[in-house]
Chain A
């Protein structure tokens, strides 16, 4: 933050205040949406009285395990692509050494990082999976029928930081500092948009599974997987 006041430039703006903004909006947006949902859920009498920790966990465990649900087994390729994609998209930003260096720079904290080769591979896997998902969305008729602008936007929002991050690290296409700045901006845009777009499924998953898992397990005595 102080860097920006000492030496105002687009780079220090993006590296300092905008990071603050992105994380604040991300966390406050996410907690606000969860809080509002829980508050509204209390109004709907069929949710709270029937919630069950046991059946929520049963549901979530089956859906987080590869091929743990009948639906995943019926779509083996799609399951493989999205499973690998999600693992890479979550772990890469957290464990890539480039990011950890910045955390150390700003807050003097650091943690274990993955070897650069692995980080590169995971980044390319994310980009490759997104391309496959995009093709699927355009080519498969039932998915195409459902698709709207928001779905293409979600793919673009996630792809941009990964593509620009890779290009920046290997100093391809554009000047290093410029590409890095673009990478940081796209990352910030992605963080800010998560609570307000389709990407919010990352935190709603746990809530909807709690309701459906409890409803199927505790009330309907059957499996929701």
Chain B
């Protein structure tokens, strides 16, 4: 008899919260989500699943855990949503603990299973409902809660105040001038072509990415600006908790800044889930059918720059290179061809990954799993076994991962599974191989 057996994990975000609430509150949250917010999709998906098991081998968690039935996508729904429905919402605190564990640390919401289901049941939507219930109760991994709260207060993930943001940009400009003459990172420039949004970490720990992007913008002669106020960080971590209210608020702030500065397009860096919030998930919540002005991912932006010869490549990278097709921009927006175009223009020795494009396996860190922090690290390392094998099979030395989560997730897999690879962003690769005209150099 297969059982749900797991090593105990302590996460105060879930454990302490459950101590301070009661079953009534839990039932209220469940009723609000399952009877108030959800309707047709929930009912239809739950009824239509014929328990055929075709989704099992699509899931990297199922495969990485040696085909443990409790990790299969339909099994995850069975142990959360079907269980809640069977108990008519009268669930215990231990039940919530189990649902939170499954929804936040055993499913990346990558939707590879949806491709394998004969009915196209959106399993990620159902797991998302479980997350939403946990969010309303407050039983969410502590690290995600912290970032979601940060977004509520500052619209960025690191509790950055507005003056800290301005300070940071100014010293980054300063440092960049050692390489590029008169380098500027324009802030709040009206009527610029492009409003660029960065990842929160790029203002604190990964500043090299922001300066590399600035370098690319300057060399390509792009008329760009960044926000001079809240709204410069696209990360939207509240999305992971299914906190749609905050998620919508952050996306609205991006568009408000864009409208205020009267820019033609918004361009963001290399991230996965944030792109989706800006291009349809958050947009729909705000009442638009599609994004009101073009919201472009870094991959598409680089594709245009290289295709239009605004960036020329000085020397290609010789080492063998492979690619990570991030779920959120390939399965969720079809950018696989653009990524490969850029890689082929900048790298001489590209070995494609298999399976690829929208059939690629999730890095196992996405959907908030890496943001759930240290208590859940082993969950994503274990789930990433098939990803590690996939990369090893290519024999490449460099993995290009145009998504912050995939980047860090694969770096951790690299250490644990000893893959011997370096993981790189397209921003870094392009900044490394692009031609910088003599007159621009400092």
Contacts and interface: CB of A to CB of B under 8 A. Distances in A.
Contacts of A47: 40-41
B334 A201 contact: no
A151 interface: yes
Nearest to B334: A221
Contact of A224 (B48, B52, B120, B284): B120
Interface residues of B, number: 45
B184 interface: no
B296 to A, nearest CB: 14
Contacts of B51: 137, 143, 146-148, 151, 198
A59 B115 CA distance: 10
Contact of A49 (B58, B114, B289): B289
A223 B40 contact: no
A50 to B, nearest CB: 8
B120 A208 contact: yes
Nearest to A225: B115
A204 to B, nearest CB: 4
Given A43-B40, A47-B40, A146-B74, A70 B120 contact: no
B20 interface: no
B358 A223 contact: yes
Interface in B1-43: 2, 39-41, 43
B234 to A, nearest CB: 19
B259 interface: no
B40 A45 contact: no
Nearest to B48: A204
A215 to B, nearest CB: 8
B39 A46 contact: no
A6 interface: no
Contacts of A37: 40, 43-44
Interface string A114-151: 00000000000000000000000100111111111001
A4 to B, nearest CB: 35
Contact of A74 (B47, B50, B57, B333): B57
A200 B47 contact: yes
Interface in A60-92: 63, 69-71, 74-75, 78, 82
A207 B44 contact: yes
A32 B280 CA distance: 32
A41 interface: yes
Interface in B36-90: 39-41, 43-45, 47-48, 50-54, 56-58, 62, 67, 69-70, 72, 74-75, 78
A13 to B, nearest CB: 32
Interface in A15-50: 37-38, 40-41, 43-47, 49-50
Contacts of B118: 63, 69, 71, 205
Contacts of A208: 44-45, 48, 119-121
A209 B114 contact: no
Interface string B282-301: 00100001000000000000
B80 to A, nearest CB: 13
A220 interface: yes
A219 interface: yes
A146 to B, nearest CB: 4
A83 B58 CA distance: 20
Contacts of A144: 2, 69
Given A46-B284, A47-B41, A71 B358 contact: no
B115 A41 contact: no
A213 B116 contact: no
Nearest to B4: A145
A146 B43 contact: no
Contacts of B117: 71
A103 to B, nearest CB: 30
A222 B72 contact: no
Given A142-B56, A142-B67, A41 B47 contact: no
A193 interface: no
A45 B44 contact: no
A110 to B, nearest CB: 34
A40 B118 CA distance: 22
B217 interface: no
A183 interface: no
Given A141-B69, A146-B75, A212 B44 contact: no
B332 interface: yes
A198 B43 CA distance: 12
A143 B43 CA distance: 21
Given A78-B54, A146-B51, A212 B75 contact: no
B122 interface: yes
Interface of B: 2, 39-41, 43-45, 47-48, 50-54, 56-58, 62, 67, 69-70, 72, 74-75, 78, 114-122, 280, 284, 289, 330-334, 357-359
25 contacts: A37-B44, A40-B39, A43-B39, A50-B289, A71-B118, A137-B51, A143-B52, A145-B2, A145-B72, A146-B51, A146-B78, A151-B51, A201-B48, A204-B44, A208-B45, A208-B119, A211-B120, A212-B114, A212-B119, A212-B120, A213-B120, A220-B332, A220-B333, A220-B334, A221-B334
Given A71-B58, A205-B118, A222-B333, 11 more contacts: A40-B40, A44-B40, A46-B284, A47-B40, A50-B289, A71-B118, A143-B53, A148-B51, A201-B48, A220-B333, A222-B357
